[in-house]
Amino acid sequence: MDTSPTRQAGWRAVVRRLLPARGRPRSAWSAFVPLIALAAGLLFTTTARTADGTSLREDRRPRLAQVVNEERDRVTASQQRARELAASVQSQTEALARTDGPIRAESERAKRYELAAGFTAVHGPGLTVKLDDAPPQRAGNRPDGVRPDDLVVHQGDVQAVVNALWAGGAEAMSIMGVRVLSTSAVRCVGNTLLLHGRVYSPPFVITAIGDPDAMRNALAASDGVRLFKDAVDHFQLGYQETVEKDVTIPAFEGSSGLRSAKVAS
């Protein structure tokens, strides 16, 4: 070890630089250094305990996909159970109607509204509209200025088509083969469609029964549909109209409970 006067003087200079001089107040930075070190130690300890030997950056998408699949299976099972209970109620009601006059009268009155309410399958001429995202190769090699949102079908696009078909005189409608009513909510989650508790992926198929010419004219007059057609030309989205000579729209199988109502003025 070098104990020469020069070496010792050098160490004393280092110590004097680290320690504040007597009578001179310490700077704010010097006072906060121990607190910062303590906070850093606590942060490292918390991170280690949270990770528990795993990577905090682990991809959560497989788990999310599993949760989505589990919820979808649960909804499917619940819908099947609901259909079974509805069939049981209908069977018991019909049995009582054969011997109970008031029940028979109410059952017959309810049946007169089933068609208008959408609880009966119908068929006839109509129109099918299909909306689709841009092909994957376009998304992977898109030009400058094009955002990922420009390459997918949005909730507003589906709703614009639905509204135009109703305005064109549609008598019954289905989306992805599921009967929809005027009160059905169309929602998009990412680039998927959420309808009556179930998730559907594009292409989105909307079918309506009615005068095909009148519905096509209504689609052509819709501002929202025109905007989507412009996007079709620019971003290679998919849009197709098909006239149906005879198409079947299934009966509505969702909940018939009325949650709210307003008296028409």
More confident call, 143 vs 166: 166
pLDDT for 200: 86
Average of per-residue pLDDT across 194-220: 91
More confident call, 227 vs 67: 227
Contacts (Cβ under 8 Å, ≥6 apart) of 107: 93, 94, 97
Give the model confidence (pLDDT) of 54-97 as tens digits: 555 555 566 777 777 787 788 778 878 877 887 888 788 888 87
Share of the chain above pLDDT 90, in %: 29
Under 8 Å between Cβ of 128 and 216: no
Q: How far is CA 227 from CA 154, 158, 214, 233, 243, in A?
A: 12, 12, 20, 10, 22
Under 8 Å between Cβ of 218 and 131: no
Give the model confidence (pLDDT) of 159-195 as tens digits: 999 999 999 999 999 999 999 887 788 887 777 888 8
pLDDT for 35: 67
Share of the chain above pLDDT 70, in %: 71
Q: What is the mean pLDDT of the chain?
A: 78
More confident call, 92 vs 111: 92
Asked if pLDDT for residue 99 goes beyond 90, the answer is no
Q: pLDDT category, 140, cuts 50, 70, 90? A: low
**Lowest-pLDDT range, 39-53, 127-141, 154-168?**
39-53
**Lowest-pLDDT range, 51-60, 92-101, 113-122, 243-252?**
51-60
pLDDT for 14: 47
